[in-house]
Structure 1
């Protein structure tokens, strides 16, 4: 039995599964571990060395979570919403620097204003929240109602900027020598799910390559701990070629899921599901797509997805209001053919796992507005034939039909639910939304009222 500390497991997940030949800076930003919540170190010759750690209550993720709570969202769930609305606000309008002191080397949370995850006594004393009455006196009452209003939208922008400033500052102070030498930075931890932070780190002048573990949250520690144990035995690890590590299902299991569902969806076995899906998408339909092994990690990467035509007018409102049941202002991620990405995205930022926010050209913004954040960036999965030949074929079929080599890609799930894993999950999700079509392995699944349409 090999025990591995939480932050070391995070560090191992982003280092050992890539294991660059050159020395690599490592930063793990987390809400909480057994001991530390920020780990800064380096990896070289198969060994990870600690440089600096920060401990409770000084958690930069905890700081962000406290403001997530103040802005009216659940912590460990709403942080990505705060990141999303931050692009609508002015980060300079309100100064939130009093939440934490930071001089480039030292970082300390102001516990008179906020607490961090895990300090339950603080939460009890403050009425069930991770912020104090002093914070309310300073900023005003906790947000209720429309988030896209002054001052709350600007608070979101300010906390995002403060978060980026602190992490970028820590990287610059503790890892600059390593990065100036090799340019390689690996990042993991729940805080690495913030794609705008990753964009900021990628833009640092001494970072030539940013490695973000696709499952950078706590699920990734399972892989990291195993990788650390294997390396301790002196064994080598093969690089990870994709994140399709979950279960897969056959057509018979998918048929059984349709038969057993109380609403008895209709199904038909297709000879060419890719061609049919591309036809539906080209006609403006939004479809559920369930094929192959489930993705490991938080993001749909083309095997458990809701897909749509990014050129379809009003498509964002359709998906947000009728299918995903979420806020109207939230943009969508895209999956794009690697050949199409060459025309639109920075050549050094072709990400297969949607881990980084990318600036896009004016032409992209005009063609695909539903995929663009307020700050002019997008989150894109670049799909190549090597990593996912099945999904690559769908994108290729869609491009042949429409001339556009990309699709809107949202998770095959409803609010508060995990990514659909089994055919039963997929059918339940499908029947509980306004989706009309689902590709379930080689089946086309429809609802009874759609029989006369397709």
Structure 2
């Protein structure tokens, strides 16, 4: 039975949408790419949201500590989405790509802010639509497993929190452990919110001086730290223990006030962190901050490795799937891979709440409607395809710009070789091809590219182009068939979610992508999935003998990754990037003397 499924997720991490037709993800994006507002959540956090999230303390506490837009004065108990221009922008982006209208939609899967208002919007447009609301972490489990390509797999969902559930006595939970086979998923264990890995990581991130949704900065800082705080905290990280919990009083009574078994118990990190002042953005990062980052990273790795080994013993599967916001921690993912018995690992490329929309839609098709799984997430390039006319229109706006030299190539091999020569010469380049990536990582379609052999390239990019902290690392995009020559990695890593060790003797060849702990956040590239990017890397390899290039997302600090050809040219012109490849055009700045 054919079906058209729209799926949306609105959370504190953003607002995203997906269109699935007959079980295949046709298009997906996040609102931030369209509005150019980083982590755009569409509507400010309101008192209605605090109730939805189960945040029952003084609202001023959340407004002070959570770096999101708030509006605690106005009434958001009902929202008319038909009057929300930005919501309609995202909706139409999805529908227009497939020449559909709301009348063509069979299902809408949705979570988890303003559910009733969203339901009313769609019912007003099409009363035949079936509206599906999925439990948060089960949606993440679907997101992890259903597009993995594995016939069976253990599933680890590690997250911040969901929403309060009746079945848990109001516990929002922070993840789950499950097993998937065919198109069915069974949950073994719920992870309580009081032992939330995402919550712990967010608390340390705030203390170190970074904002909400900037946990990746903490991960990047961690290798510069020492174990002095980790050694203190790990003494109180306990596995396979028992504890009292009065969150669900009825369950406590049912247990006869006995203790409850838990897989792990985190140290009292909130009490520990009170000993440290929160770093202000203007203040220098010191060894204290580096050591705090080190501690939370290692604690996270310890728990995830334990949970992976528990899942292996429970399921016996050779395959592991990971989702939830903590699944974006590529360092922890790799440690799980090398310290567990799993042969294969799949981490959803948009494993946080924005990617949850994929899990919800596939749940409707595969689980709810009992259709066999056909969709496999081999690529994250799920955005809109911009036409040759779109690109020409964007370029023509700059035809009179005296600083730009615009060259059109009809021979793509010549384009790849020419562009590779610019990378080889040390120029900072940018690359716009095909459909934009859905997740938070650029993967060769919206990328800034440079020579990984230059030791100073990381500092150049951070200071001159990205305008971000000097400690933050860059990624190697490597020919998949050559990955094992440079890195301790036996499997593909197409979504940049495994930070593997650089092999002995190789770091000095590619210092710009080797991080402080001798790791690199790897993207493996294959010809069948991304031919232009593969051929560019191959051209660089032929010139230099190095089968990889340095890659980072095509944006600057506090901006989303570029979406449109016009976004690309604007960002190119406003930064110190030397050269832009826009599909089959190369644009150079004459002022650079290229």
Give me the TM-score of the superposition, normalised by structure 2: 0.68
Q: What is the CA-CA distance between 1:367 and the residue it aligns to?
A: 0.2
Given candidates 266, 287, 291, the residue that maps to 2:429 is 287
Q: 1:261 to 1:33 in 2, by over 3 A?
A: farther
Change (3 A) 1:304 1:204: same
Query: Does the alignment pair 1:143 with 2:288?
Result: no
Partner residue in 2 for 1:369: 511
Candidates 155, 160, 163, aligned match of 2:297: 160
1:302-360, CA deviations, whole angstroms, 9 ceiling, x for partnerless residues?
A: 11100011113421121111011112222210101123224223352321111111011
Q: Offset at 1:436? A: 1.5
Task: Specify the alignment match of 2:80 in structure 1.
Answer: none
The CA deviation at 1:101 is: 5.4
- Decide whether the 8 Å contact of 1:344 with 1:361 is kept in 2: yes
Farther-moved stretch of structure 1 (375-384 vs 234-243) = 234-243
**CA positional deviation for 1:266:** 4.1
- Per the alignment, residue 178 of structure 1 pairs with 314
- From 195, 211, 215, the equivalent of 2:330 is 195
DSSP-derived class of the 2:175 partner:
strand
Aligned to 2:188: 51
Secondary structure of residue in 2 paired with 1:225: helix
Does 2:207 match 1:70?
yes
The residue number in structure 1 matching 2:416 is 274
Structural mapping, 1:176-255, within 5 Å: 176-179=312-315, 181-231=316-366, 232-238=368-374, 239-255=376-392
Q: Could you say what secondary structure the match of 1:153 adopts?
A: helix
Distance 1:335 1:191 in 2: 22
Q: Is the 8 A contact 1:96 1:158 kept in 2?
A: no
Deviations 1:129-157 (A, max 9, x none): xxxxx54553x32234332x322211111
Greater CA drift, 93-102 or 360-369: 93-102
Contact 1:38-1:54 at 8 Å conserved across structures: yes
Query: How far apart, in 2, do the equivalents of 1:313 and 1:51 lie?
Result: 48
Q: 2: CA distance between counterparts of 1:430 and 1:262?
A: 15
Residue 276 and residue 89 in structure 1: after superposition, are their counterparts in 2 closer, same or farther (change >3 A)?
same
Give the direction of change, closer, same or farther, for the CA distance of 1:348–1:340 in structure 2 (3 Å limit).
Answer: closer
Q: CA deviation at 1:4?
A: 1.6
Q: Secondary structure at the match of 1:42?
A: strand
| Of 234-243 and 323-332, the range deviating more from structure 2 | 234-243
Q: Which residue of 1 aligns with 2:584?
A: 442
1:107 offset after TM fit, Å?
4.1
Q: Equivalents in 2 of 1:308, 1:234: separation in Å?
A: 47
Aligned partners of 1:201, 1:227: CA distance in 2, in Å? 26
1:405 equivalent among 525, 531, 547: 547
Rounded to whole Å, the distance in 2 between the matches of 1:352 and 1:308 is 19
Match of 1:20 among 150, 163, 177: 150
Instruction: State whether residues 175 and 192 of structure 2, in contact with CA within 8 Å, keep that contact through their aligned partners in structure 1.
Output: yes
* SS of corresponding position for 2:353: coil
1:64 Cα shift?
0.8
Q: Secondary structure at the match of 1:366?
A: coil
Residue among 460, 470, 473 paired with 1:318: 460
Following TM superposition, by how much is the alpha carbon of 1:434 offset from its aligned partner in structure 2, in angstroms?
Answer: 0.4
Q: What secondary structure is seen at the aligned counterpart in 2 of 1:36? A: coil
**Structure 2 stretches of 5 or more lacking a match?**
1-129, 164-171, 241-261
Question: What is the distance in 1 between the residues matched to 2:186 and 2:568?
Answer: 43
Which residue number corresponds to residue 141 of structure 2? 11
CA distance in 1, matches of 2:230, 2:498: 26
Give how far 1:447 is off.
3.1
Distance 1:407 1:377, change over 3 A: same
1:335-346 equivalent positions in 2, closer than 5 A: 335-346=477-488
Partner of residue 444, structure 2: 302
Is the 1:192–1:212 Cα contact (8 Å) retained in structure 2? Answer: yes
CA RMSD across the alignment: 2.2
1:83 and 2:219 correspond: yes
Going from structure 1 to structure 2, the CA distance change for 1:136 and 1:203 (only over 3 Å counts) comes to closer
Please say if residues 29 and 37 of structure 1, whose CA atoms lie closer than 8 Å, have aligned partners that are also in contact.
yes
Q: Larger Rg: 1 or 2?
A: 2
- Structure 1 pair 363/109, CA: closer, same or farther in 2 (3 Å)? closer
Distance in 2 separating the partners of 1:392 and 1:341: 13
Provide the rounded CA distance (Å) in 2 between the counterparts of 1:249 and 1:85.
37
- The question of whether the paired residues in 2 share the 8 Å contact of 1:66 and 1:75 is answered with no
The DSSP-based 3-state class of the residue aligned with 1:182 is coil
Question: Secondary structure at 2:507's aligned position in 1?
Answer: helix
Please give the alpha-carbon distance, in whole angstroms, between the structure 1 residues aligned to 2:353 and 2:235.
Answer: 26
Q: How does 1:109-148 map onto structure 2 within 5 Å?
A: 114=270, 135=272, 137-138=274-275, 140-144=276-280, 145-147=283-285
The answer for the alignment partner of 1:29 in structure 2 is 158
Say which is worse superposed, 342-351 or 330-339, in terms of deviation.
Answer: 342-351
